[in-house]
Amino acid sequence: MTGFATRQVQAGYVAGVAQNSAVAPIHQTAAYEFGSLAEAADLFALRATGNLYSRNAGPTQQVLEERVAALEGGASAAAVASGQAAVAVTLLALAGRGGHIVAADRLYGGTVDLLQETFDDFGIPVTFVDQDDLDAWRAAIRPETRALFAESIANPIAQVLDIRAVADIAHDAGVPLVIDNTVGTPHLIRPGEHGADFVVHSATKFLSGHGTSLGGVVVDQGTFDASAEPGGWPQFTEPYARVGDFALWDRFGAGQAFAALVKSKYVHDLGPSLSPFNAWQILQGIETLDLRVSRQSATALALAQHLQGHPLVSAVHHPGLADNRWHALAERYLPRGGPSVFSFDLAIPDDGQTQERVARVVDGLRVIRLVANIGDARSLVAHPASMTHSHLSPQQRAAAGISRSTIRLSAGLEDPADLIADLDEALALV
């Protein structure tokens, strides 16, 4: 296999369309013309693979799927409309009917809402566990558990997951491990190399890097075996009645059947399709992923080190710092650099004026922008207690390592000296 950077710019695209465009073109069409009725019938029956209608698949999305699969070292991928959609269709496809999910308790807020409320509406039970407590993962698994789910690096406080340990627990129970690698990025960490069976991304963040487009991807690493437990995965091993009398596992096999189910059932039925234009935008971003992420990673560590020595900062939550609780895991799992999303606490009292003091700092920033996003070329801050984590109780926030003075920072591509000066000037306002 070629190197990471080569795959970033080439994987998935061969100039083979009639016009031989060197860059993957945007196939902006809702549907595809069939050469004959026989060809159409084969496509509808999943006897042949090809383009049929843009809700399920298209050539631009397919380049993106192959490229992200190549970066994660996976076998196949399905691209969808957003990171939320990627998490949802992945867990719905694995849970099937009657399945149960065990998830880390430190997840992206939208994922918590999805698992806690919407999956509950759907009758899919989810047990949340402290992701650092391996006994808790083991104890939460039931006979009907169909997936374990966590983020490689959680935010806002950048915990690093011991992926290998959780993967071993999952595999001992015959269950796949799904990892959200949005903050990790395949440049810094490839969860499949540590035992994850499925890797999901919000492509909106680092894969894009430009902050213009929503998208999501799920990569099948090819390690999940639906035939291992008789009757355990009927969605793969029993006849796929909507199409024919064959089972998806028999037709597509390991590494391919999952994407076939996601596209032909969940994306087809629920409709979270990625537009060709957004797929193309994300592809432009991916071409510079390693350059951006290594720069952002170095900048974030420099900012974390600077903030650690600042008298108005009481704590910096970055696993690259030697005194951080997850430093040893970061050294093991992140040899190419730490996360560029981290947070810090202001050294201010927790009283009636906390919000006002935090606002003085956040509103005083001139280079770093107040935006509820991460992984952008621009450096961004957010205030978890009044934004992303505002619906949590003070106890839940404390359990997540967040206080009312915690500020999240996503380091961008600006000059680090400008970012440090901006932070210093804003901090001087309290």
Q: Which residues bind ligand PLP (CB under 6 A)?
A: 82-84, 87, 108, 110-111, 151, 180, 182-183, 202, 204-205, 214, 216, 374
Q: Which long-range contacts (C-beta less than 8 Å, at least 24 apart) are formed by 168-175?
A: 168/195, 169/134, 169/137, 169/138, 169/141, 170/137, 170/195, 170/197, 171/195, 173/138, 173/141, 173/145, 174/228, 174/229, 174/232, 175/141, 175/145, 175/146, 175/147, 175/148
Question: Quick one: 51 or 182, whose CB is closer to ligand PLP?
Answer: 182
Cβ atoms within 10 Å of 19's Cβ, excluding its own = 6
Question: Quick one: 214 or 381, whose CB is closer to ligand PLP?
Answer: 214
Residue 109 CB, nearest approach to ligand PLP (Å)? 9
Question: Quick one: 374 or 400, whose CB is closer to ligand PLP?
Answer: 374
Q: In this structure, are residues 179 and 191 in contact, taking their beta carbons and an 8 Å threshold?
A: yes
Q: In this structure, are residues 53 and 30 in contact, taking their beta carbons and an 8 Å threshold?
A: yes
Residue 110 CB, nearest approach to ligand PLP (Å)? 5
Measure the CA–CA gap between 317 and 369, rounded to whole angstroms. Answer: 20
Residue 341 CB, nearest approach to ligand PLP (Å)? 8
Instruction: Kindly tell me the burial class for residue 294, based on how many C-beta atoms sit within 10 Å of its own C-beta (0-12, 13-18, 19 or more).
Output: middle
Q: Which helix (H) or strand (E) holds 182?
A: none
Which residue's Cβ lies closest to ligand PLP?
83
Residue 338 CB, nearest approach to ligand PLP (Å)? 16
Residue 38 CB, nearest approach to ligand PLP (Å)? 39
Question: Quick one: 24 or 217, whose CB is closer to ligand PLP?
Answer: 217
State how far the alpha carbon of 132 is from the alpha carbons of 101, 343, 397, in Å: 17, 19, 17
Residue 113 CB, nearest approach to ligand PLP (Å)? 11
Question: Quick one: 11 or 218, whose CB is closer to ligand PLP?
Answer: 218
Question: Quick one: 140 or 214, whose CB is closer to ligand PLP?
Answer: 214
Residue 83 CB, nearest approach to ligand PLP (Å)? 2
Give the type of residue at 300. A
Question: Quick one: 158 or 226, whose CB is closer to ligand PLP?
Answer: 158
